[in-house]
Amino acid sequence: MGYIDSFFAEFVSYAWGWQTALLLLGAGVYFSVKTKLKPFRYLGFAFEVLQGKHPSKDEVGEVSHFRALTASLSGTIGLGNIAGVAVSIQLGGPGAIFWMWVTAVFGIATKFFTATLSVLYRETGPDGKPNAGTMYIIKNGLPKYMMPLAYFFAFSGVIAGLPAFQANQVVQLTNDLYFPEVENFSYYAGAFLAALTAAVVLGGLRRIANVSALLVPLMGGLYLVAVLIAVLLNYQQFFPALALIVTEAFSFDSAVVGGLVGVILTGIKRGAFSNEAGIGTEALIHGAAKTSSPVKQGLIAMTGPIFDTLIMCTLTAVIILISGVYQASDSQGVSLTSEAFLATLGPVGPIILFVCVVSFGLSTIFTYSYYGSSCAKFLFGEKSVKIYQYIFIIFVFIFSITSLDLALNVIDSAFAMMAIPTLIASIWLAPKVIEQSDKYFSSLKR
């Protein structure tokens, strides 16, 4: 594993340089300005649609607005908000959270564009189900000579779809809390997790969406209640924690590596992992939604960064900062968050966190299998889906026994590669989104 570890550690340092960070943030700013902030002005309407209001009879797709959002959120709300925040603070200091906020704010507009384009350029397969994602946006929206970008995205998506971080952190927390003395526990847990994954992912998107629709709201609610109680119990430290995030965002010596640039890059990288805006994963799932308008689904998609980064990540960060464990502990990732829950909520804290991590981890693993299999189908055809799913199940086991660093570096590398074609295509086709948006918003005023 040593050579593989070194390769991905070296690769991710190049993949997540200032160029990628600038592309992500710059695209979000461009989309916000291009729409004259219209998506932000229609946030209230987006939440109404999410609640089932404003239905249309002519909706075409495979899953509902709500199930598309929960399936997408299951890939973002969860370990990215629980373990990813801990990693962000460890590597970039408290100030890295500020840059996660920045990615989320501009990520709202980015998700609006990518999801709208995914519905606009999706295809209907021989089975009557929609095929969607950045690769279809490029195939059907860009000139033919841009097709290599579609294949590049799909290849990257096959790698990004592997359950690296999720499987690793679910097994790590289970081992830490309940089986610290069991030798080779990760092997047993990895095998069990792989079997459980097989039972769901082989059932296709509908089963994944149904499981996510059940787990995400339920566990999201439980996690939200737990962190709010922890904040209330330590309310005097809440605003100082927020102030620390802001002041450290511009500190030259809070990051482990890279000074101020290290703080910014860590925050943007972990922000991208948290809300996935501009990565292209959201286009894969939202493109399959039942909707009467691409813009309508774009509005639904853009609520994601609000839930997963601005709310969930912030609360997790505050708990870690209030507890002070990030300054004294050698624990990594989800284990650090568990110590923070123990410090702020007592013995019940890690138990609540364990339930949420397992539920979030499973729903994320299930959703990622759909991401990867969709990309495999684009590259190799329908028959490759089952093959990819079996490979995926094997990698659930493999990543259960690897290091956290390798798991993070694999997914970070693939996400960086996915972002490049996604944002190039979205910027290229921005006028199409503006045209569709103007028509849709004008129709709402009639």
| Residue 379: closest CA among 148, 141, 198 | 148
- The per-residue pLDDT for 252 is 67
- The per-residue pLDDT for 61 is 47
Q: Which two three-digit tokens encode residue 374? A: 């969709």
- Provide the residue-wise pLDDT of the chain in tens; the chain has 446 residues: 678 888 988 998 888 888 888 899 999 999 999 888 888 888 888 888 777 666 665 554 444 545 555 555 555 566 777 888 888 888 888 999 999 999 999 999 999 999 999 999 999 888 778 889 999 999 999 999 999 999 999 999 999 999 888 899 889 889 988 888 888 999 999 999 999 888 877 765 566 556 666 666 777 788 889 999 999 999 899 999 999 999 998 876 655 555 677 788 888 888 887 788 889 988 888 888 777 789 988 988 888 888 888 988 999 999 999 998 988 888 888 889 999 999 999 999 999 998 888 888 887 887 788 889 999 999 999 889 999 999 999 999 999 999 888 988 999 899 999 999 999 999 999 999 999 998 988 887 66
Contact by Cβ (8 Å): 376, 181 = no
- Domain assignment present for 446: no
* Beta-carbon-side half-sphere exposure of residue 174 (alpha carbons within 13 Å): 24
Residue 89: CATH number of its domain: 1.20.1740.10
Report in angstroms the alpha-carbon separations of 17 from 11, 111, 408.
10, 22, 16
| Residue 367: closest CA among 215, 218, 209 | 209
- Domain assignment present for 90: yes
What residue numbers bound the domain in which 363 lies? 20-51+63-430
SS3 305: helix
With a CB cutoff of 8 Å and minimum separation 6, the contacts of 76 are 274, 275, 276, 304, 308
| Residue 424: closest CA among 272, 275, 277, 278 | 278
What is the DSSP track for 348-376?
HHHHHHHHHHHHHHHHHHHHHHHHHHHHH
- Domain assignment present for 77: yes
- Domain assignment present for 444: no
Task: Look up tokens 């009557």; give the residue.
Answer: 128
- C-alpha span between 232 and 235 (Å, rounded): 5
- Domain assignment present for 13: no
- Domain assignment present for 202: yes
- Domain assignment present for 57: no
| Residue 29: closest CA among 134, 115, 137, 105 | 105
- The per-residue pLDDT for 430 is 96
- Domain assignment present for 3: no
| Domains in the chain, number | 1
- State the first-to-last Cα distance of the chain, in angstroms, to the nearest integer: 62
